[in-house]
Structure 1
Amino acid sequence: MNLYFISGLGADKRIFSKLKLDKNIKVIHVDWIEPNKNEPLAHYAKRLSQIINLSERFCVIGISFGGMIAVEIAKIYQPHVTIVISSPVESKYLPKMYRLAGRLKLINLVPAWILKASNKISQNYFFGVKSVEEKKLLSQIVADTDPKFLKWAIGSILSWKNNIRPKNLYHIHGTNDKILYSKKAKPNFLIKNGTHFMVYQNASEISGLINDLIIKS
């Protein structure tokens, strides 16, 4: 079974490094491509999905911003299983503040470079990182993120429109996610005290869920 991993906003495969998956699962990490100017999220997801081998059975996992991409891919190609982690499945479950910012197009007023200049203390708080190892990884991810891509991605999150829940999709979220959690969303699986960084922090529990959903389905 081919399993395509789509990372969070600006992140890369390091965020998945602690997952331990069944030997029958072949993991393929999807690298970001450069977005076109004013490109809608759905159009970008379709271009990104060109890496997928459609002649073989496959699954898709997306975390955070990558979860929204996974939803858009699932709407087109109907993977065997789609798993969305730390991300809304429908746009109505984005925090109200985000949706308002999207309608007002506030992201257009913010220079790209300033999006990376946030205080490390606030970054650590919102992502829920605590250990020295976690803080170092988050800091590296933020430092390695292209500011122009970051601005486009944030704008895409704020303006995302989707009211479709694709078939064979499972939603995993943490109860202590301070970035993209809505109590109205009703995920299939709730990770108690899970943060926006839980795919790294709670890797053992999430690995078990992924293995069960993919191998046993």
Structure 2
Amino acid sequence: MKNIYFIPGMAANCGIFEHIKLNDSKFKMHFVEWLEPSKNEPLQGYCKRLSEQIVSENPILVGVSFGGIIAQEIAKIIPTEKVIIISSVKDPSEFPIRINWAKKWKLYRFFPTSYFNLFEHLTKKLVSSKKIQQRIDMYQKYLSVRSVNYLDWAFKNVILWENKNPVSNVYHLHGTKDHIFPHKRIKNAHFLENGTHVMVLVNARWINKKLEEILEK
């Protein structure tokens, strides 16, 4: 039986994988939980600590968004059979231009992560739109890792990621309507037409099918 370890996106909990269903006679699913980073902790050091949750030999890693970056870094630390990234990037060349500008000008230092919860709270109180209320409810359910220290650290490490010595066993699932990592800059991926950055939640049937195909290779 193959062991599959799932890593959620930035600020997300493992509930985002609730619709992922694999053949349990072939695959055992495990979930990696975010740790609180120490101040100025290097990405590699953080990934080393996170990898301690992975106790199986030669596992398969599945990471969403920032979790996909983390999965690739963990695969440089421990042997892995495969790395599957969803709604993520394989190297900085796939970043949108705005992230490259943020890196050049070190704009991550000014991102107001401390206002994240306050903005959400006020929006829910003041906006009557049912659709927006539902979206905020979804964010509250799945985006529960919200310490200012963690968010500041994560934003900085996404923007500064360079992916030196990239791993070769990476498979990529991506949506053509991803607003975080636009698909026009993404290379060598399986694309879901009209899939968005949250397709792991709303297009789980397609994700499940593609995961099974990749896992059987």
TM-score range, shorter chain: 0.7 to 0.9
Cα offsets for 1:94-148 (capped at 9, x unmatched): 112112212322222344312444569x9xxxxxxx7976652223334552222
Cα offsets for 1:45-99 (capped at 9, x unmatched): 1221111125x33100000110100111122323111101001111221112112
Task: Please show how residues 41-120 of structure 1 align to structure 2 within 5 Å.
Answer: 41-54=43-56, 56-118=57-119
- What corresponds to 1:8 in structure 2? 9
- What corresponds to 1:152 in structure 2? 153
- What corresponds to 1:198 in structure 2? 199
- What corresponds to 1:171 in structure 2? 172
Q: Is the 8 A contact 1:90 1:164 kept in 2?
A: no
Q: Is the 8 A contact 1:88 1:185 kept in 2?
A: yes
CA spacing shift, 1:181–1:194, aligned 2, 3 Å: same
Aligned residue pair count: 207
Q: Is the 8 A contact 2:11 2:144 kept in 1?
A: no
Tell me if 1:161 matches 2:162. yes
Q: SS where residue 76 of structure 1 aligns?
A: coil
Amino acid at match of 2:22: L
Separation in 2 of the partners of 1:131 and 1:116?
A: 15
Which residue, 34, 37, 49 being the options, matches 1:35? 37
Which stretch shifts more, 62-71 or 185-194? 185-194
Q: Percent identity?
A: 35
Separation in 1 of the partners of 2:85 and 2:190?
A: 10
Provide structure 1 residue ranges, at least 5 long, that are not aligned to the other structure.
123-129
Amino acid at match of 1:52: I
Amino acid at match of 1:187: N
Which stretch shifts more, 133-142 or 174-183? 133-142
Separation in 1 of the partners of 2:105 and 2:163?
A: 18
Cα offsets for 1:132-179 (capped at 9, x unmatched): 766522233345522221111011111111154412210111000001
Provide structure 2 residue ranges, at least 5 long, that are not aligned to the other structure.
124-130
* Bigger-Rg structure (1/2): 2
- What corresponds to 1:127 in structure 2? none
What is the root-mean-square deviation of aligned Cα atoms in Å? 2.3
CA spacing shift, 1:141–1:180, aligned 2, 3 Å: same
Tell me if 1:17 matches 2:5. no
CA spacing shift, 1:183–1:3, aligned 2, 3 Å: same
Separation in 1 of the partners of 2:37 and 2:145?
A: 17
Q: Is the 8 A contact 1:116 1:142 kept in 2?
A: no
Q: Is the 8 A contact 1:174 1:193 kept in 2?
A: yes
- What corresponds to 2:213 in structure 1? 212
- What corresponds to 1:185 in structure 2? 186
Q: SS where residue 159 of structure 2 aligns?
A: helix
Amino acid at match of 1:154: F
Structure 1 residue 183, shift from structure 2 partner: 1.4
Q: Is the 8 A contact 1:5 1:30 kept in 2?
A: yes
Structure 1 residue 205, shift from structure 2 partner: 0.6
Separation in 2 of the partners of 1:113 and 1:199?
A: 27
Taking structure 2 as the reference length, the TM-score comes to 0.86
Cα offsets for 1:179-203 (capped at 9, x unmatched): 1234132132001101010001100
